[in-house]
Amino acid sequence: MDQWDAKIRNYSISELASEFGVTARTLRFYEDKGLLNPKRSGQMRIYSGADRARLRLILRGKRVGFTLEEIREMMELKTLDAGGTVHLSVSLQRFRNQINTLKQQRSDIELSIAELEAGCAWLEAKMINREPSEEIKQSARAFEALALARLEH
């Protein structure tokens, strides 16, 4: 239980960048936008485990379509201890909205996956039987019909 803990590990900018597959420029940019603020040792940036965790959150947020500004706001809301009940309830509403957005997106994604999987099946069918047999043509038309049915509302 001494101080040789795993959490006192720090990271240089390029370490963190390469670990997450981004450039150093990106990390400096995020700092500029108020998303990160690592400690400094002189000029050099020193990233802690917490900074690393924030970065993970930022990148995940990006992947699901939030802008950097939105991500910054959400992170601020959680570190914002001051502020009355009103402010809290506003924050709560914002979080709930984001959740609904994400759920909508998840459903979009599931539809898209289904769409692409249907496309795969269609391509596979075409590859297995190269000669334009009536059988395949039939299934092709069937697929098209199904696709259309799903698409036209």
List contacts with a copy of itself (CB under 8 A).
Answer: 7, 49-50, 52-53, 56-57, 60-61, 63-65, 74, 77-78, 85, 88-89, 91-92, 95-96, 98-99, 102-106, 108-113, 115-117, 119-120, 122-124, 126-127, 130, 148, 151-152
Minimum CB separation from DNA for residue 31, in Å? 8
For residue 15, the partner it binds in DNA, a copy of itself, none, with Cβ less than 5 to 8 A by kind, is DNA
Which positions lie near DNA, rule CB under 7 A?
12-15, 22-26, 28-29, 33, 42-45, 62, 67-69
Residue 40 or residue 78: which is nearer to DNA going by CB? 40
Minimum CB separation from DNA for residue 56, in Å? 14
> From residue 119, how far is each of 10, 61, 128, 151, 153 by CA, in Å?
47, 29, 14, 14, 19
Structure tokens at 64: 């699901």
How far apart (Å, rounded) are the C-alpha atoms in residues 55 and 24? 12
Q: For 42, phi and psi rounded to 5 degrees?
A: 75, -115
Minimum CB separation from DNA for residue 2, in Å? 26
In the DSSP assignment, the letter for residue 131 is S
Structure tokens at 141: 């038309």
Structure tokens at 18: 């390469």
Q: Helical H runs in the chain?
A: 13-20, 24-32, 49-63, 68-79, 85-128, 134-151
How far apart (Å, rounded) are the C-alpha atoms in residues 131 and 112? 30
Minimum CB separation from DNA for residue 45, in Å? 3
For residue 103, the partner it binds in DNA, a copy of itself, none, with Cβ less than 5 to 8 A by kind, is a copy of itself
For residue 136, the partner it binds in DNA, a copy of itself, none, with Cβ less than 5 to 8 A by kind, is none
